[in-house]
Structure 1
């Protein structure tokens, strides 16, 4: 297989274009179970009917695990927003509509969001036992839903192609609470642009008829799961959001 060009480099993985396919190659030490889970997640999402690149093959290339998918020609929504700042509101509306379409789907065999969050919080060494207890208690008390949630929904994971929008990178997909998914999107926006984050959350709450305070109750939980990624430039903001009392609503 000729890997023609690198189109993205991420922690532990490199994404190449190869003809009309995309090949995501993982580092040698990347767990096989995580690779297979990502391919399985994406296959389950395909079955919901959402516009996403189809998984074509899971294989090994030069001793490294790889997932081969359809190549979607186009530009990311993140690039479109940078190039056309005057259309920011239009793009944001498209972003929220796409997220609500995802949340309208069910996939009963996907991993459960609450289970994933609980594992991540329990494994977090950067917070004390009391904070961990408060976060896990809050998580346990939140309503249990079974909506498809992307888990990393941001404009760089949307490709605009021939009047269609395709959502990529389903490695964090779960079934769970849509407001938790929105809290994560808000957090990801906030790490880049606080004003845009507020506009996003206001629009999401309006379109989904969700109380702002309800989404805010998820913020300490999703901040804790993001803190576990160990990105030093995010640490200060995430730790600020871990104040459980602040978001009692």
Structure 2
């Protein structure tokens, strides 16, 4: 197989031909999650309401699972920011506009936020019983269900001419748009830049996080009030702690404990 043309946190992207690419996950990545990503992406693609690369088929080779996608000739925003990290703030308004566009969509055939997160929270060994009860109470509040990406950030946007394509729908669900905003905000505060990106970008991104408080900045830019988002920030911090904190557990823990107060 040729050299990857791009990388995800747990995957590599290979060009198959002029029309297709392969997103190939690590050896230990569960095939069930890959199949879930394919099914979610196909449901959203078939709705024809967003620009997303078409998922073609699930792929498996030598114990590694992946998905073959339509190839979209593009510039990934994260590649652009690697060269000029200060453009991150310049593009934030456009990123929130795309997020709002996603939240206008109602779609079937996706898990609800309760089915997506309830068992993960309930079965986690990282949470106290009282914290689990509080998180599940917030999770089950009534809301107007809309399409939510679940992991929306600049690394999941690609630019093709003047059009933006949204990728990586593995964590998509139908739920409260404010939870989706909170997940993005918390991600901006606690997630590291991928290890494959240049050190200059990683350092600059960390500096932006500290100087601008990117979590609060994103909430405000979306048009929401931080005070009215406290419970959902707490929920999003809990979700990040139990799902994504393997390599950065202490920072996720500190953020969660702060959000709890």
Distance 1:72 1:58 in 2: 18
Checking the alignment, whether the CA contact within 8 Å between 2:219 and 2:225 is kept in structure 1 is no
CA distance in 1, matches of 2:230, 2:246: 22
Q: Unpaired segments of 5 or more residues in structure 1?
A: none
User: CA deviation digits over 1:21-79, x for unaligned, max 9?
Assistant: 22122344433322211101000111232001101122322343321001222222234
Distance 1:236 1:90 in 2: 26
Which residue number in structure 2 is paired with residue 41 of structure 1?
Answer: 40
Q: Tell me the distance in 1 between the aligned counterparts of 2:254 and 2:157.
A: 28
Aligned partner of 2:237 among 223, 238, 242: 223
Q: Deviations over 1:138-163 (max 9, x none)?
A: 322x3333110000000010011211
Unpaired runs of 5+ in structure 2?
A: 191-205
Distance 2:247 2:3 in 1: 33
The size of the alignment, in residue pairs, is 239
**Are 1:22 and 1:69, in contact at CA under 8 Å, matched by a contact in 2?**
yes
TM-score (norm: length of structure 2): 0.82
Which residues in structure 2 correspond to 1:85-234 (within 5 Å)? Answer: 87-140=87-140, 142-191=141-190, 192=206, 193-194=209-210, 195=212, 196-205=214-223, 210-228=224-242, 229-234=244-249
TM-score by length of 1: 0.85
Contact 1:135 1:244 in 2 (8 A): no
- Structure 2 distance, partners of 1:83, 1:27, is 27
Residue equivalent to 1:15: 13
